[in-house]
A and B are shown apart, each in its own frame.
Chain A
């Protein structure tokens, strides 16, 4: 790990930054340096940073304004959502966004705006501890630039899903965008957020996004994250979730695109009876590297978590699943179940999976299950005996495998769209 490549991701500190922010960013910068000097070998056991570092990414310092709403057409999913917030290369693009007529109690701003006009409002929302976050979250914090600030007051309900689109366009110089989003749901608030990562064109670029979510008592958030970037993109994303009593978080993480990606999901229960359901599907083919890290903290008693991740790996694809459930000393009656299932379709594909449990309380129900296998020949034979071609039969079986995750998406439109995307990808997959 070379020092300069990552440090050069950081823009110069804005001179006008308030003192607390400067302190926080300095702490984050120190954490980046610590992590570079002594990398967490376990966290990076299966993923090499070399490929990422070789690209020599530099921070983006221009706001792209040349895009017209029409340019969005190719990335929009018809009929998905009426409201959307668009970020182009990590910067809020109001001209492309559609945020009219928000229900009462729903506040939507750009982080830049809030930092400029009411920085102290951001202060209470930034909960990530710079000294303990993983490398790329620290890097993102140190380079804090823009992002979405979505606040729902007590009992506010955002009935229509909100689409958060990260649109990336390659620049002359390979660049890195580091948006940082803050989502806060007050007590009893409810929302559905569809977070998408898409590319215009096929240039090499990097996204290092962080999303911090705080759920108040009884709050419910449905969070669907679709990463369908171009095969030349580098993708890093970190989620930091904190849940208050009785809150419910349901998420689906779909990783289909990008050449090299790593997703870190850090969740923490702060009060009893909260529920967290993390589901995911990853598709790694050709030369793709896809890496998922879960860190689920049962810090308090009586919480429930479910982690269900499935992967399809083909070509020279390589996937990593590193899931960890930690039950703290007094977190009795914790209930956690983690499952990771993988289909390996070709001889060059590789899966490295590491589902960990760390249990420090006795009255708990914790389990994990992992499988790696191929398409069962009997199933294939059954379909072939019905006159279905081998290629189609394989695709059907893979789609069936993927459907357990896809069918949990909230909207029919999205389910169809994703099934189609997975189907298309599999069509081009080499089978031998």
Chain B
């Protein structure tokens, strides 16, 4: 059926309905019927939005709506008892509906692209209600339906002299509709029936002593609204009850679709000024969730005009000239690589290649919305143009952007200074979103002369190896097609944007019009032949469990599988996806004493999952807290501990139970949350955490919860070392510092012993060349470990194997605490853990996020205790053949995302001693007693 015919049928249907309903509601003397025709469209930056086509009312007058699609959508004003007929045409590429959860529940009919449909609501409930779409309600398809009383009475206000004043709708000079979405206000105002979009974080204008009504609405994430210097009665029925009003100036909005409406007299008792309104969650304040209520005195010439904020229809690349300040939007998602995904990436990806790259002119804004993730995150500047936070030129109050705590929401920031900005999440530091702020009047996209990096590196020329290496890392990490596939016969090809850029040379000059692709290909190669797969000659013992965290399967929306490898044959035994719980980013595992249950964290979620080791079956799925990262048992007590990476502690679950019984705080009360990631536990029960948010290593007594010590981590660079994983020797602790490119070494009481610099042989500043890597520390070796992550010590305490994201494996001999060997790894090299080698000794198993193989490292092939001959013993594909048992069909990104690893039996010191007899058999006496 064509759309026009469908429409006319709907109209006919609506007319009949109208008649029937009018008859039914005849008891309501004043009830009106509203026939509203709307469309769902895309605005210029790719966000979906509702647009008013027509509104007729049996009552007569209807508002003067914006002609364009707007966010929030057109504000619908009706009266109690009215009937609302919506005819919606979906002009977007996804299914769209129209819900009013307060009137009709949480789900409804959804229209396919191109379809039209009819929605009807009875305005049975006075109040301000959210309307919106089920799927895109955080990205633009939302608006307000305001149901007022028939008698026109609205919320009373409190005067500056304390008098409570009843207010009628006709008294209102202005109404503001303000949606709290993510960490951004989306606003509109209504003046004398004329509606005007005010977009993001607007300045709301009012004349002194104007009576104005605020409609605050929130969807999804929880907020508290606060307006400076004004107060109002909370929305209770205090007048009818004859009790005192509750006078407030801040209000929680924590329901999935929530609203709060109040009326104030602008400036009453406090006068004129720019009065800030904001969300009062500290993390939301820090991510930009604020605007101004500007009260002016008409006697002093003030007009009370509102000023719109950054607009999705404003200036963004390639339409960078003319118009209002623009806005680009990144959706924060759980999709591998596209963790910050430009909402218009489908339309600009031909040019940008990466879905996580945006381009705007100076003065436009970038906006983040955590719309497709179940984790908590931060929006944190990783690097920015050196001028951007200069108090004289830039905005040092917004750049670098950061928040003290991980949270749910989003962020918004205006970018004034040309150059490259990269944002990350502190909790998940391989989430990247990049924005090039390009001055349209210069040749080539502006990468800026120099960048500052969060670790305290300032004025790094963009021509330097480190700057272009980071840029290359960005294009590898954020483009799924750029990931290595070891099963492909093709060489590894990395796609870069075919654009010219302007970068800064070592002398501080801007070099125009360099082809970016040529620069990166000449520096880092192209079409590289991957090393061949081969099995280790000597088998391992037992099984190797691998979190192929990005592998996608058909039966769930979230990524991640567990790949179980038989170490005796090096064949994949099983893939476990757990579609019944939509397992989301399985990140790290441990096992119980008898090796029968695998504990699995879901790093972008809130759950710890218990899996039957022998069958791969789901046992329990337990809420443990925001963004649980690593799991490990306490060797003596078998208590399961989980580092709650998005929060401020480590939870404990007693053996045999599934619910947490305690959370051990990783910091003192009221201190900045530590956000521990990859902890370790000593045989005596000391819990050691890498505290990513507070740049230290925490030592805690698991019996008392007492903080033993919190020594600083890192030291290569001035700031932000980002300690991320712990390895434990016999008498020493090793912390891998991701952004400091170092290992911090401590004794068991937390006293610092040394820092191992993994960049000693690297020259980050010069342009890439023959001397970028050379022996600079005079040890006769050229080694480098860029972005170290997992860093286990072998069960005997003699050797540390570190997986470095930059694509190397470094080997540290603990007797001298120096790097003694380096091995090649894949891009996004991440996980490492030891398992027993058949007949004695150990293998270190190493995984990489942006490839699909397991690298087996033999740290001591000849068993002589000297680790300088460490070697790759095997390379094993993590792609399952059709005969491998699985609980869900592999759909894409086969075998990729390698992160957590667990070898079973668990042969680490502290645990191996407690293995049951059935698992002891395969181990040598030395493996059973690793510490002699």
Indicate whether A and B interact: no
* Contacts from A to B (Cβ < 8 Å): none
* Contacts from B to A (Cβ < 8 Å): none
